[in-house]
């Protein structure tokens, strides 16, 4: 088995300009943002003057999880970026949040393409997106014609995902404000099956009623429950993680442990990354994915 390294290709609206010394400089559409990046332990390619000249705004960390943006050049509070692949055209609303996020994880584009390609041949596909955030995977699945359930525990995040659906010219995604684990267990009890399941669990999280999510303690049980609701004949599964120190082999082991009803010939695992024009690769999480077709 070889591990794969995947990165989005030919995306004019996104660019990793430089990284290093604990930061990254990225362009989202017309706006350039400077953010902390703990994994960038190397030196920057460009000098401080160039970073300052390019950046519209910079995220300054105040606590371990929050901070604020300093603006250097005029930019709107909200703006849009487009993503296209095959017949799929997605539009995302971006904004500067208090958690250094902007509403999109660009490296996930490789998974949107995969989902779109694998779901299109499945007639009447039902898809569940867990820990679904602003909905990149939900939009890709919906664009492929699937019925989509989008589950997240934060109301504002669901509203943001809905705005992305509308901006992308899509309709009828089912929005679910629910604890991901609780929902999967309930669906398993009801004997509900999904052809596509995407899960992108954070290291720590909370359900809407304060239900605790802790990746290391709960991922094995969640994987088991997810395996029980994945359709046994026609299926696509994408499992992501951003947790520092988590290796792709960990997810692969979980999949081999629990998805015993599914053929895993096409299982692929590896790292996602973002690439600078110099060729330098910034790690951006790990994935394992497989499909029946």
Ligand X SMILES: C[S@@+](CC[C@H](N)C(=O)[O-])C[C@H]1O[C@@H](n2cnc3c(N)ncnc32)[C@H](O)[C@@H]1O
Shortest gap between Cβ of 278 and ligand X (angstroms)? 26
Asked whether position 213 contacts ligand X by CB under 6 A, the answer is yes
Alpha carbon 177 to its chain centroid, in Å, reads: 18
Q: Which of 283, 198, 290 is nearest to 243 (CA)?
A: 283
Please identify, among the stretches 54-62, 200-208, 225-233, 264-272, the one whose residues bind ligand X according to the rule CB under 6 A.
Answer: 200-208
Asked whether position 153 contacts ligand X by CB under 6 A, the answer is yes
Nearer residue to ligand X within complex by CB, 55 or 222: 222
Q: Which of 9, 71, 155, 206 binds ligand X (CB under 6 A)?
A: 206
Q: Which of 179, 187, 271, 276 binds ligand X (CB under 6 A)?
A: 179
Nearer residue to ligand X within complex by CB, 179 or 187: 179
Strand order in the sheet with 14-20: 14-20, 23-28, 31-36, 57-61, 67-71
Shortest gap between Cβ of 57 and ligand X (angstroms)? 20
Tokens 């487009």 correspond to what residue? Answer: 82
SS3 state at 106:
helix
Q: Which of 3, 154, 167, 264 binds ligand X (CB under 6 A)?
A: 154
Could you give the string, one character per residue 101-140, with x where binding to ligand X holds by CB under 6 A and - elsewhere? ----x--x----------------------xxxx-x----
Q: Which helix (H) or strand (E) is 219 found in, with range?
A: helix 215-229
Shortest gap between Cβ of 4 and ligand X (angstroms)? 18
Nearer residue to ligand X within complex by CB, 122 or 132: 132
Shortest gap between Cβ of 212 and ligand X (angstroms)? 8
Answer yes or no: are the C-beta atoms of 37 and 274 closer than 8 Å: no
Asked whether position 225 contacts ligand X by CB under 6 A, the answer is no
Answer yes or no: are the C-beta atoms of 138 and 163 closer than 8 Å: no
Give residues with Cβ within 8 angstroms of 176, minimum separation 6.
Answer: 149, 150, 151, 152, 158, 183
Q: Which of 88, 180, 219, 284 binds ligand X (CB under 6 A)?
A: 180
Shortest gap between Cβ of 265 and ligand X (angstroms)? 26
How many chain residues are in contact with ligand X, going by CB under 6 A?
A: 22
Nearer residue to ligand X within complex by CB, 132 or 226: 132
Distance from C-alpha of 274 to C-alpha of 284, rounded to nearest angstrom: 7
Please identify, among the stretches 18-26, 205-213, 230-238, 250-258, the one whose residues bind ligand X according to the rule CB under 6 A.
Answer: 205-213
Number of H helices, E strands in the chain: 7, 17
Q: Which of 202, 250, 264, 280 binds ligand X (CB under 6 A)?
A: 202
Give residues with Cβ within 8 angstroms of 112, minimum separation 6.
Answer: 83, 85, 88, 90, 136, 137, 139, 140
Take residue 77 and report the two structure tokens written for it.
């509070």
Answer yes or no: are the C-beta atoms of 91 and 65 closer than 8 Å: no
Shortest gap between Cβ of 101 and ligand X (angstroms)? 8
Rg (CA), the chain: 19
Nearer residue to ligand X within complex by CB, 19 or 134: 134
Cα dihedral 96/162/116/13 (nearest 10): -30
Interacting residues with ligand X (CB under 6 A): 105, 108, 131-134, 136, 151-154, 157, 179-180, 200, 202, 205-207, 211, 213, 242
């Amino acid at each position: 088995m070889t591990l794969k390294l995947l990165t989005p290709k030919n995306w004019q609206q996104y660019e990793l300009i430089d990284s290093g010394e604990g930061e990254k400089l990225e362009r989202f559409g017309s706006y350039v943002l400077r953010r902390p990046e703990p994994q960038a332990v190397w030196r920057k390619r460009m000098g401080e003057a160039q970073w300052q000249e390019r950046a519209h705004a910079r995220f300054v960390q105040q606590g371990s999880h929050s901070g604020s943006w300093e603006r250097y050049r005029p930019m709107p509070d909200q703006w849009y970026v487009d993503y296209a692949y095959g017949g799929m055209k997605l539009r995302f609303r971006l904004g500067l949040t208090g958690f250094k996020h902007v509403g999109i994880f660009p490296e996930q584009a490789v998974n949107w393409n995969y989902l779109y390609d694998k779901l299109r041949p499945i007639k009447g596909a039902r898809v569940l997106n867990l820990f679904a955030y602003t909905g990149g995977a939900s939009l890709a699945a919906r664009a492929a014609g699937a019925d989509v359930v989008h589950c997240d525990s934060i109301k504002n995040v669901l509203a943001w995902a809905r705005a992305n659906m509308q901006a992308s010219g899509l309709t009828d995604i089912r929005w679910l404000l629910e604890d991901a684990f609780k929902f999967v267990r309930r669906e398993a009890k009801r004997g509900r099956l999904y052809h596509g399941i995407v899960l992108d669990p954070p290291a720590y999280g909370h359900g809407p009623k304060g239900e605790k999510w802790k990746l290391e303690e709960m991922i094995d049980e969640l994987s088991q429950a997810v395996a029980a609701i994945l359709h046994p004949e026609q299926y696509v599964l994408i499992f992501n993680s951003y947790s520092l120190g988590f290796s792709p082999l960990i997810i692969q082991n979980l999949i081999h442990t629990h998805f015993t009803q599914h053929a895993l010939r096409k299982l692929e695992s590896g790292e996602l990354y973002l690439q600078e024009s110099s060729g330098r690769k910034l790690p951006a999480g790990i994935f394992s994915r497989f499909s029946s077709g």
